[in-house]
Amino acid sequence: MPHLESLVLCREAQVSTLQTLFGERNHFSFPSIFIYGHTASGKTYVTQTLLRTLELPHVFVNCVECFTLRLLLEQILNKLSRLSSSEEGCSTEINCETFNDFVRLFKEVTQDENLKNQTVYIVLDKAEYLRDMEANLLPGFLRLQELTDRNVTVLFLSEIIWEKFRPNTGCFEPFVLYFPDYSIGNLQKILCHDHPPEYSADFYAAYINILLGVFYTVCRDLKELRHLAVLNFPKYCEPVVKGEASERDTRKLWKNIEPHLKKAMQTVYLREVSSSQWEKLQKDDTDPGQLKGLSAYTHVELPYYSKFILIAAYLASYNPARTDKRFFLKHHGKIKKTNFLKKHEKTSNHLLGPKPFPLDRLLAILYSIVDSRVAPTANIFSQFPLLISSHTTHSLSRFRAILAWSLLLRPSVSRRPLHAEEPVPPHVRTCVSTRVREAPRIHQAKATCRQSRVRRQGRRPLDAPAQLQGVVAAERAHLPASLAPLCRQETAKPSGFLLSVIRVWASL
């Protein structure tokens, strides 16, 4: 079909195979078809376009939305009921809790003449989520044609291979169809098909060629590439609009678009801002104090106590529990000095990753680093679940901080005052990589080791307070310019210096 070929590009072989499997409307089709391939390889689009163009009766269900057995079965039956219903508003909601009830109700729904004399197609998108449901669900869908004695075909759309689906007890084998990734030539053809009418096709093709040359090695996702093409095209044609270059002056056009493509390269796949927000950031070049970039982490706003909660979580993850008394108590007692570092202490804790800690330890550190007395109110505790990035619904007993110290040092660009007990914005999550090491504690350990080595060699040890004062001065020199003047000058211990920085930053 010429019309179908213009709608579906670079998938001629897969479309031909599906048309052969579907056959005539009144013929029994293949009971089940398993279609798999990577993300944005055209599985869903090709299937939906083919079924709509051929006007075949079908039901499309996303298994992510229908995350329970009851939701999935009721969604299929209710959509089938709307297909078979000839009068508007006469269909009622169908309740179904088990697969046995589904088979019985499916026979009743498909008794209508509109569905009885032709093949009905049930499309299950994101079918890999079926593995988390009941064990009899997948074998039941594979043999649905046999169980219901109806002309029905079930299509499974998934990103994983069939071998990871097959149950250990065995099941009916579906027809497996693979959708390979788009080649660079296919992507060029598909993206050029979206060129704006006000510009020539050659001009837009040159832009797509530059875009694929930058992003193809790191991103093969058609949806993401199409999103990037729409976002960056106004900057590419900006010299042409201003009259500074022609459509064939590729050198000037590349120099104009290069910094914007580098900026977009930093957050491929993240989609941290919408298209309208990205355009606003691109146009806002007049405010020197505004932080620019695609990343939304440069615009994080945190309430007063949420800053301290994140800092306490960071300290609990990267400091051993045995050092809490030394860092957060004035009278911590006598500390036994060792003449050598243990083997596992020679490795930076940031290379080992964040360590889990209980909630009680987090609260103890929080009460220590906050200058004023913190009342354990519901407003404080309600901020904990908003700062947790977890995919589980059950309660957790231990946590770890997966954020960098550099993120905590970033001031908020917003000048709007935040209330002390304001809840955290929902989009803020502690999910940034860790790469900043805790220098004062490591320097103190190195100084202790150096003094022990000097004693063994019979020389006079250096003054430890003077050494630590130098370490504190060196660490203060690496602080941002906005924080360095605010730190207390009389702090000589690394722990005191750290608490001073924490209180100064969190009060910003």
Write down the H helix ranges in 284-426. Answer: 304-318, 324-328, 349-352, 359-369, 378-381, 383-386, 405-408
Topology given in CATH for the domain delimited by 2-179: Rossmann fold (3.40.50)
β-sheet bridge partners, residue 62: 125
Q: Can you tell me the distance from the alpha carbon of 224 to that of 229, in angstroms, rounded to the nearest whole number?
A: 9
| Cα–Cα dist 396/358, whole Å | 9
Q: H/E/C letters for each residue in 414-426?
A: CCCCCCCCCCCCC
> How many degrees, rounded to 5, is the angle at CA 380 between CA 378 and CA 385?
90
Q: Other CB atoms closer than 10 Å to residue 214's CB: what's the count?
A: 17
**Residue range(s) in the chain whose domain bears CATH number 3.40.50.300:** 2-179
Query: What single-letter DSSP state applies at residue 475?
Result: H
For 360, phi and psi rounded to 5 degrees? -60, -40
User: DSSP 3-state assignment of 463?
Assistant: coil
- C-alpha separations of 499 from 293, 315, 502, 503 in Å: 31, 11, 5, 6
Spatial contact of 321 and 361, defined as CB atoms under 8 Å apart: yes
Instruction: Give the count of beta carbons closer than 10 Å to the beta carbon of residue 450.
Output: 13
Whole-angstrom distance, CA of residue 255 vs CA of residue 237: 12
The 3-state DSSP class for residue 41 equals coil
- Print pLDDT tens along the chain (508 aa): 557 878 899 999 999 999 999 988 888 889 999 999 998 899 999 999 999 999 999 999 999 999 899 999 999 999 999 887 754 555 578 999 999 999 999 999 998 887 888 999 999 999 999 988 998 899 999 999 999 999 999 999 999 999 988 887 778 899 999 999 999 999 999 999 988 888 899 999 999 999 999 999 888 889 899 999 998 999 899 999 988 888 888 888 998 898 888 888 877 776 655 566 656 665 654 444 444 444 444 455 677 777 888 888 888 888 888 888 888 777 666 666 655 555 555 556 666 777 888 888 888 888 888 877 777 777 777 777 666 655 444 445 566 665 555 555 554 433 333 343 444 443 333 332 223 334 444 455 555 656 666 565 565 444 444 444 444 444 444 444 444 443 433 333 344 444 444 444 444 4
Residue 122, SS3 per DSSP: strand
Report pLDDT for 162: 93
What pLDDT sits at residue 266?
A: 77
In sequence order, the 6+-apart residues with CB closer than 8 A to the CB of 263 are 293, 294
Determine contact, residues 502/370, Cβ cutoff 8 Å.
no
Q: What is the pTM of this model?
A: 0.57
Contacts of 427 (CB under 8 A, 6+ apart): 296
Taking each helix axis from N to C end, the angle separating 304-318 and 494-506, rounded to the nearest 10 degrees, works out to: 150
The torsion region of residue 146 among left (phi > 0), alpha (psi -120 to 50) and beta comes to alpha
Res 192: pLDDT: 93
**Does an H or E element contain 4, and which?**
helix 2-7
pLDDT at 411 (0 to 100): 45
Alpha-carbon dihedral angle through residues 360, 364, 369, 373, given to the nearest 10 degrees: 110
Scanning 266-333, the segments in alpha helix (DSSP H) are 275-283, 304-318, 324-328
Name the 3-class secondary structure at 52: helix
Cβ atoms 51, 58 nearer than 8 A: yes
